[in-house]
Structure 1
Amino acid sequence: MRARIAAVAMVTAGIAGLTAAPAMAATATSGTDTAVCATVLNRPCISHQADGEGIVGVAQVSAEASQLTMVQVEVRTQAAWGSPWETVATATTVQFGSAKAVTPRVTATAPRIICATAGPALDVSKQTTTCTNPF
């Protein structure tokens, strides 16, 4: 019985760690509200800019200059807590080297998250997706 309880506790802790990890590794912002990317190649970093007129999602990715790189950023909302996430704004950039994408401004007051997918444009298996925590 104790072994089962310990196993359930370890699985629960592992799931909690996996769901928290993408948001912790994803974003850092500077004083000018631009995303500051980590030096990890092909891993998107995300941020958002919010004011009284709405919210803009921003994603950047660092890549080698010779690589055709894709970055896509989405602003997602929920009608109510627990309902499915729906994409309300998206932007995609494909170019050689590092790339940045910025969504159109949206006015959403429901719970929101910013998600980004980035990496080599010609190799989907090497692309990475990460999301913020709801805000």
Structure 2
Amino acid sequence: MRTRIAAVMMTVAGIAGLSAAPAMATTATAEPGTTACTTVLNRPCLSHESNSGGVVGVARVTADPSQLTVVRVELRTQAAWGSPWETVASATTVRYGSAEATTQRVVTDKLRIVCATAGPALDAAQQVTTCTNPF
């Protein structure tokens, strides 16, 4: 049992490491059809819509209108606890000011997370990555 708990903790630590940007990203939880975080410049807000037709991941970022902004959202699945997360759908938007990206709808019964990276397109060091909790 302790081995299994340790494996789960290592998986969680791995997810946190994958979702870290130059500064540690905060984790946002999302409920279907809602945005789970407050508006903060250059920090992505995540949501997902999950129904019998599949799952869609959405990421929004608020930015200065003169800033070239990038937002990338990924829908990832995991076949079983401890196995690697695989990206099954992604979308990227680059534009001036605030931006939004939405993945394609994916039908799956596997464990899922939505991750997003957003911030100034010309300065990767200031981009922030955030992921939802598995759902």
TM-score, length-scaled by structure 2: 0.77
For residues 77-100 of structure 1, what are the alpha-carbon distances to aligned partners after superposition, in whole Å with 9 as ceiling and x for unaligned?
011111000000000000000000
DSSP 3-state at the match of 2:106: coil
Q: Which amino acid aligns with 2:113?
A: I
Tell me the residue number matched to 1:22.
Answer: 26
Deviation at 1:28, TM superposition (A): 5.6
CA contact (8 A) 2:65 2:97 kept: yes
The alignment-based identity, stated in percent, is 64
- Counterparts in 2 of 1:34 and 1:96: CA distance versus 1, 3 Å: farther
Supply the distance in 2 between the matched residues of 1:79 and 1:27 (Cα, whole angstroms): 21
CA contact (8 A) 1:35 1:58 kept: no
Could you say which structure has the greater relative contact order, defined with CA pairs below 8 angstroms and 6 or more residues apart? 2
2:103 paired with 1:103: yes
Supply the distance in 2 between the matched residues of 1:113 and 1:38 (Cα, whole angstroms): 20
CA contact (8 A) 1:116 1:130 kept: yes
Q: Which amino acid aligns with 1:116?
A: A
Deviation at 1:22, TM superposition (A): 2.2
Tell me the residue number matched to 1:46.
Answer: 46
Tell me the residue number matched to 1:8.
Answer: none
CA contact (8 A) 1:77 1:86 kept: yes
Q: Which amino acid aligns with 1:63?
A: A
TM-score, length-scaled by structure 1: 0.77
Tell me the residue number matched to 1:123.
Answer: 123
For residues 83-129 of structure 1, what are the alpha-carbon distances to aligned partners after superposition, in whole Å with 9 as ceiling and x for unaligned?
00000000000000000000000011111000000000011010000
> What is the RMSD of the two structures over their aligned residues, measured on CA atoms?
2.2
Tell me the residue number matched to 2:3.
Answer: none
Moved over 4 A (4+): 27-30
Supply the distance in 1 between the matched residues of 2:105 and 2:47 (Cα, whole angstroms): 13
- Counterparts in 2 of 1:28 and 1:78: CA distance versus 1, 3 Å: closer
- Counterparts in 2 of 1:110 and 1:36: CA distance versus 1, 3 Å: closer
Supply the distance in 2 between the matched residues of 1:116 and 1:51 (Cα, whole angstroms): 21
CA contact (8 A) 1:75 1:89 kept: yes
* Structure 1 unmatched ranges of 5 or more: 1-11
Q: Which amino acid aligns with 1:105?
A: R
